[in-house]
Amino acid sequence: MAFNGTIHVNQPLTEISVSFLQELDSFVADKACPSVQVKHESDLYYVWDRVSFINDDGMERANGAIAREIDQGFSTSSYQLMEHAGRMLVTDRDVRNADQGLQLEIDATKILTEKLLIEKENDLGALFNTATFSNALSAAAGQQWSLNTVTSDPLILVNTASIIAWNASGKKPNYGVGGWRQMLFLKSHTSVLDRIKYTQLGIPTEDLLASLFDLKKLHFSRSVDQQRLENKNVPVSPSATLADVDMLLYWLPQAPALRMPATWYTFTQGGPV
């Protein structure tokens, strides 16, 4: 006798479900741009003139002469915090009636957190322009890393960019940030592979590439952002759109401090997202 499916009622599985949450290490904004905790939503900070520190003023003096007076100059800059928040409605009634495979409160927290992380990543990408960083270096024809040729040697271009930054500030860049496609180009580039073939792994990693470029750390954003949520067939795009085709070399101190230059900071109140 066949029971014809009457012995089991289909129910959602409790071991698996499918979603599109991104890995946390796909986001680099918090790692690339250090956070500074502040008390107030707006304030000022001092900015010293560069010439006050790295200029030769010729201070030789004759016996008994008065020492040359050196001018010092500084100005102030400001910050303004903006609050970012979102909400998803989950009622106690929803929680009581939800199947075991749904964890509505946890799901809402994860979704909202990811949206804030994507927004921060987009803010980082918005800084990748010549209005923010005037010392830009464009790869000439034949130098694009995607071409994978001798003339597109990444180390030559990175060294040239480092020299440009050093000439402008007296600081050798110690960090780098870019998009995931840059990492993929570098991992397969002949010039890179030739330089690391005798290392322990012989496989380009972020840390190995940072060492090759003489940087403390190299970050590559893998986060994505689908702008038109109503059309799920639209392909996703990198969150830090400009960062996906550009790479930034920059300098940061070991920790935020007085009288220290820094490429950027994120001013925050409360804990990180």
DSSP line for 188-207 = H-HHHHHHHTTSSS-S--HH
Instruction: Please give the average per-residue pLDDT across 14-33, as a whole number.
Output: 92
Bigger pLDDT: 245 vs 221:
221
53 contacts: CB under 8 Å, gap ≥ 6: 170
Mean pLDDT of 245-256: 91
CB atoms within 10 A of CB 219: 22
At residue 244 the predicted structure's pLDDT band, cuts being 50, 70 and 90, is low
Average pLDDT of span 17-41: 93
What is the average per-residue pLDDT within 98-111?
92
Taken in order 228, 233, 235, 236, the sign of the CA dihedral is positive
The pLDDT tens digits for 30-43 are: 999 999 999 999 99
**Per-residue confidence band for 156, with pLDDT thresholds at 50, 70 and 90:** very high
Burial of residue 218 (CB within 10 Å: 0-12, 13-18, 19+) is buried
Q: Which helix or strand (DSSP H or E) is residue 77 part of?
A: strand 74-80
Residue 4 has pLDDT above 80, yes or no: no
Number of residues that this document lists for the chain: 273
pLDDT for residue 200 is more than 80:
no
User: Quick check: 10 pLDDT over 60?
Assistant: yes
For residue 192, name the pLDDT band (cuts at 50, 70, 90).
very high
pLDDT at 242: 47
For residue 239, pLDDT over 60 is answered with no
Per-residue model confidence (pLDDT) at position 137: 84
Nearest to 246 by CA among 210, 211, 221: 221
Mean residue pLDDT across the chain: 87
pLDDT of residue 90: 95
Helices marked H in the chain = 29-32, 51-54, 92-97, 104-126, 154-169, 180-188, 190-196, 206-212
**Predicted confidence band at 8 (pLDDT cuts at 50, 70, 90)?**
confident
Average confidence (pLDDT) over 61-79: 89
pLDDT value at 245 more than 80: no
